[in-house]
Copies of this chain bind each other. A is one copy, B any other.
Amino acid sequence: MNTLVQVQPVETRWVYAFGGGAADGGAQMKELLGGKGANLAEMSSLGLPVPPGFTITTEACNHYYKIGRTHPADLRGQVDAALAQVAALVGKGFGDPKNPLLVSVRSGARASMPGMMDTVLNLGLNDDTVEGLAALAGDRRFAFDSYRRFIQMYSNVVLGLDHHMFEEILDDRKDVLGVTIDTDLSADDWLAVVADYKAEVERELGRPFPQDPQEQLWGAIGAVFDSWMNDRAQFYRRLHDIPEAWGTAVNVQSMVFGNMGDTSATGVAFTRNPSTGENRLYGEFLINAQGEDVVAGIRTPQPLTRASREEMGETALSMEEAMPEVFGQFNAVVRRLERHYRDMQDIEFTVERGRLYMLQTRNGKRTAKAALKVAVEMAAEGLITTDEAVLRVDPASLDQLLHPTIDPAADRDLIAAGLPASPGAATGKIVFTAEAAEREGAFEPVILVRDETSPEDIRGMDAARGVVTARGGMTSHAAVVARGMGRPCVCGAAELRINAAAGELRARGRVFKAGDIITIDGSRGEILAGAIAMIEPELSGDFGVLMGWADAARRLKVRANAETPLDARTARQFGAEGIGLVRTEHMFFDEARLAAVREMILADDEAGRRAPLERILPMQRGDFVELLNIMDGYPVTFRLLDPPLHEFLPHTQEEVAAVAKSTGLDADKLLRRAADLRETNPMLGHRGCRLGVSYPEIYEMQVRAIIEAACEVAASGRATPHPEIMHPLVSKPEEMAFLRRLTDRVAKQVMAERGMTIPYSVGAMIELPRAAICAADLAKDAEFFSFGTNDLTQTTFGISRDDSGRFLNAYMEKGIFEKDPFVSIDVEGVGSLVRIGAERGRATRPDVKLGICGEHGGDPASIAFCESIGLDYVSCSAYRVPIARLAAAHAALNRPKT
């Protein structure tokens, strides 16, 4: 904002009333009225029994913050008018000592933020009105109980006093009276408590507890607005990606009481089971209680229906049995609400002396399993369309369904916590080396526990059921590889002190030895002692049905990143339409190949490199044949050698000695070469296609292996091969031209030798800012672009993902980053470059095929971005393929129609 003075239009409407079968707002006005306010208005308009009230808008909240925590000048008049309307509807007066109107003041943001912000109940009570309430209710004890509740809540929420002081006063009073539970206190006892409370407030604040209901009301409204910026609200927003700019509304509503005797009650209900999705009313209630009592857990709530009560073997009556008439009304309202909102509803209600009041309805939160079932069944019932059903299931939640998970009922003995790097759970014996994992993992389940992992550990990771590291973040080697393999993984468990040599780990004062059984929960980032009961994933019928609808709705293709036949088969089972990224060096870490690779690296000249490459060729070809067979008819993108060569060499003196001994390679030469190849910033070093330019013979061998494999597959008649050859880390069009010539030359030669023609394409991995900027020229020689957004994020931000752990947290805490840019694509920066690359590439070559193969390929928000710029496909790890399919459907369905 550049102007110093905010001129506020005179006519801004800050207040929307509801009640008496009508409302100023409606369900569609959530942005302005918050979820609670919009739905109260909606229910009121539907003629449902809603206690009258009004909503102060989120715009008023934003305005409050914009002008320094001050209310707009014209708010007071609008509140006064609305309050008068409420009073008229209920036939009471705000502050009227004979017939007092009491109100609740509650927050209500656009998104549900349960318990994060503040609420004040029973507002309007003072030394005079409490007597009026007593008379009206015919219950003096109830009135003073309500008054003391109000003083306690208001003092805490609005006046900032600690609630413990009030509890102490109450406890002291009980001691004096010799009673233990609240219900044993009489009206006079409560009256005494109220006096003590008021005296305490005055002592603390130097002024009496406010008696003026207007003062009370404005204090509460300000407190609710203030609570939008309290620590826990800010934390919750960050966790759930809720923008600060949304603001909260304030709902002021006439009070109804579920605690006015045995014909009163309060409860919550779901129209279907939020855990299983079963289509049956689900919930609980308490007779003679206020909502806070249900939450407090002092009394055990009863089920709503007789069927539920019987299933649970309870004896206390269900609502259906205890108040059959009200239950009948309630059941009808509940059914109507689900039909009206066309979604499973989460409902709060109160019964005041036999009369039903609806206090809230909203779409109910549910487990992934329930979401699937509800969506599929509602579509079957004709309540929603199949596209709507697809949109009802959060793609990220599918992760819960695709992996074994720890039984929620099981006890958890926490050893240490880290990052939830790869979902699912696994149990096994601790091993501290990749070799041990390979050796022992063949016979019994093992968990690989290391400080960090490196490419040499891949076979060990594959042999283990799960992986734990003490270092590294969500995109560390261990995390990326584990997600790709579908292995649960906990990363960056910094409190672990691992001594692999001694075969032990220490954490929180406990010691675990190699061979001890642990369980890891990769979805929560926890390491637990012992074996724990698991729930196996169940890809039920609902899953298949919904995924079919999703596939029909989406435009983006979904491929997998996969190197092994196992990964490739898993990917196909999960519905992958090809492989978007085969890291061809993955196979180099196999023991037999590694020796040849190292011999090649040690060679002094091209001839010396060609001999070992000759030995690697048939092995690579064999791998590629398998992948092409599995992906019959689908494209397979082979990325040529990418990591710097030093990753293939041993580094420490000990490692070198061991390698030299086992391979016969010269130890001195190994050491010297490793030192020569050492890089200050390996991420920005001699890697990617720079290797192919420096040592063309390596890429020639790989291209040959790919085309020979394709020829072999085609000749066998078993499958139709669609190889795509991808050059990583391209930055200059001249580089791409060189690589294109190399690729075509070798491919032509192989096809001539075999006497056959294989359609193949050649492309570039766009993972450097310069590649995106120069995409127009790159597209002259590249038939496809695959955006490698991991590295593109690293270079665009100048952030090494290996090192970012040190400051990313401070950045998230300070609000500089809202999300980890390695998890969800940074649309403004990295996304801009992807967009530029796509646009410029298409300008040169309109049919250039465009995809994404970074970690972002499995992230729903990133997939939505890919859809928005019209990419052709996303590629992600095999276990995220269903998530990507569903996210792609969401993206297509949510895309603005042009």
* In the complex, A534 has a CB within 8 A of chain B: no
**Closest B residue, CB atoms, query A805:** B686
CB of A207, distance to nearest CB on chain B (Å): 34
* In the complex, A767 has a CB within 8 A of chain B: yes
Stretch in A362-370, A403-411, A441-449, A768-776 with 4+ CB within 8 Å of B: A768-776
* Among A679, A684, A686, A811: residue with most chain B CB under 10 A: A684
* In the complex, A552 has a CB within 8 A of chain B: no
* In the complex, A797 has a CB within 8 A of chain B: yes
Q: Contact partner of A795 among B694, B729, B798, B828, CB < 8 A? A: B798
Asked whether A680 and B734 contact (CB < 8 A) given A693-B814, A693-B816, A810-B694, the answer is no
* In the complex, A732 has a CB within 8 A of chain B: yes
Chain B residues within an 8 Å CB radius of A799: 684, 731
Copies of this protein chain in the complex = 2
Q: Contact partner of A680 among B802, B829, B833, CB < 8 A? A: B802
When the two chains form their complex, are residues B734 and A816 in contact, meaning their CB atoms are under 8 A apart? yes
Bound together, the chains give a CA A817 to CA B694 distance in angstroms of: 13
Within 8 A of B (CB), among A774-826: 774, 791, 794-800, 802-803, 806-807, 810-811, 814-817, 826
Q: Contact partner of A683 among B684, B735, B810, CB < 8 A? A: B684
Chain B residues within an 8 Å CB radius of A683: 680-681, 684, 798, 800
When the two chains form their complex, are residues B732 and A816 in contact, meaning their CB atoms are under 8 A apart? yes
Q: Contact partner of A806 among B686, B732, B774, B811, CB < 8 A? A: B686
* In the complex, A830 has a CB within 8 A of chain B: yes
When the two chains form their complex, are residues B769 and A803 in contact, meaning their CB atoms are under 8 A apart? no
When the two chains form their complex, are residues A681 and B797 in contact, meaning their CB atoms are under 8 A apart? no
* In the complex, A324 has a CB within 8 A of chain B: no
CB of A843, distance to nearest CB on chain B (Å): 14
Give A430-461 as 1s and 0s: 1 = Cβ < 8 Å from B's Cβ atoms.
Answer: 00000000000000000000000000000000
* In the complex, A236 has a CB within 8 A of chain B: no
Asked whether A693 and B810 contact (CB < 8 A) given A734-B816, A816-B735, the answer is yes
Chain B residues within an 8 Å CB radius of A802: 679-681
* In the complex, A503 has a CB within 8 A of chain B: no
When the two chains form their complex, are residues A774 and B681 in contact, meaning their CB atoms are under 8 A apart? no
* In the complex, A738 has a CB within 8 A of chain B: yes
Q: Contact partner of A800 among B681, B803, B814, CB < 8 A? A: B681
Chain B residues within an 8 Å CB radius of A814: 693, 738
When the two chains form their complex, are residues B738 and A679 in contact, meaning their CB atoms are under 8 A apart? no
* In the complex, A559 has a CB within 8 A of chain B: no
* In the complex, A722 has a CB within 8 A of chain B: no
Give A826-853 as 1s and 0s: 1 = Cβ < 8 Å from B's Cβ atoms.
Answer: 1011101100000000000000000000
Bound together, the chains give a CA A796 to CA B795 distance in angstroms of: 7
Chain B residues within an 8 Å CB radius of A767: 798
Chain B residues within an 8 Å CB radius of A738: 814, 816
Chain B residues within an 8 Å CB radius of A798: 683-684, 688, 729, 731, 767-770, 791, 795
Q: Contact partner of A768 among B684, B796, B800, B816, CB < 8 A? A: B796
* In the complex, A36 has a CB within 8 A of chain B: no
Q: Contact partner of A773 among B735, B795, B815, B833, CB < 8 A? A: B833
Residues of A in contact (CB 8 Å), total 48
Bound together, the chains give a CA A686 to CA B808 distance in angstroms of: 9
When the two chains form their complex, are residues A800 and B679 in contact, meaning their CB atoms are under 8 A apart? yes
* In the complex, A682 has a CB within 8 A of chain B: yes
* In the complex, A138 has a CB within 8 A of chain B: no
* In the complex, A690 has a CB within 8 A of chain B: yes
* In the complex, A685 has a CB within 8 A of chain B: yes
Bound together, the chains give a CA A773 to CA B794 distance in angstroms of: 15
When the two chains form their complex, are residues A770 and B796 in contact, meaning their CB atoms are under 8 A apart? yes
CB of A770, distance to nearest CB on chain B (Å): 4
When the two chains form their complex, are residues A830 and B770 in contact, meaning their CB atoms are under 8 A apart? yes
* Among A795, A798, A810, A833: residue with most chain B CB under 10 A: A798
Bound together, the chains give a CA A397 to CA B731 distance in angstroms of: 32
CB of A814, distance to nearest CB on chain B (Å): 6
Chain B residues within an 8 Å CB radius of A816: 693, 732, 734-735, 738
Q: Contact partner of A693 among B732, B800, B811, CB < 8 A? A: B811
Chain B residues within an 8 Å CB radius of A796: 768-770, 773, 795
CB of A895, distance to nearest CB on chain B (Å): 24
Chain B residues within an 8 Å CB radius of A806: 685-686, 694
Q: Contact partner of A769 among B679, B690, B735, B769, CB < 8 A? A: B769
Bound together, the chains give a CA A281 to CA B830 distance in angstroms of: 63
When the two chains form their complex, are residues A807 and B729 in contact, meaning their CB atoms are under 8 A apart? no
Asked whether A690 and B807 contact (CB < 8 A) given A738-B816, A798-B791, the answer is yes
CB of A198, distance to nearest CB on chain B (Å): 42
Bound together, the chains give a CA A767 to CA B798 distance in angstroms of: 9
* Among A770, A811, A815: residue with most chain B CB under 10 A: A770
Bound together, the chains give a CA A648 to CA B794 distance in angstroms of: 25
Bound together, the chains give a CA A807 to CA B689 distance in angstroms of: 11
Within 8 A of B (CB), among A718-744: 729, 731-732, 734-735, 738
Chain B residues within an 8 Å CB radius of A690: 807, 811
Rank and list the top 6 A-B pairs by shortest CB-CB distance, nearest first: A684-B800, A681-B800, A770-B829, A769-B769, A680-B802, A685-B803
Q: A686-B803, A690-B807, A694-B810 are in contact. List 13 more A-B contacts (CB 8 A).
A: A679-B800, A684-B794, A685-B800, A685-B806, A686-B807, A693-B811, A694-B806, A732-B816, A734-B816, A770-B829, A791-B798, A795-B796, A795-B798
Q: What are 8 inter-chain pairs, A to B, with CB distance below 8 A?
A: A680-B800, A681-B683, A693-B810, A731-B797, A769-B769, A769-B833, A770-B796, A795-B795
Interface residues of A (CB under 8 A from B): 679-686, 688, 690, 693-694, 729, 731-732, 734-735, 738, 767-770, 773-774, 791, 794-800, 802-803, 806-807, 810-811, 814-817, 826, 828-830, 832-833
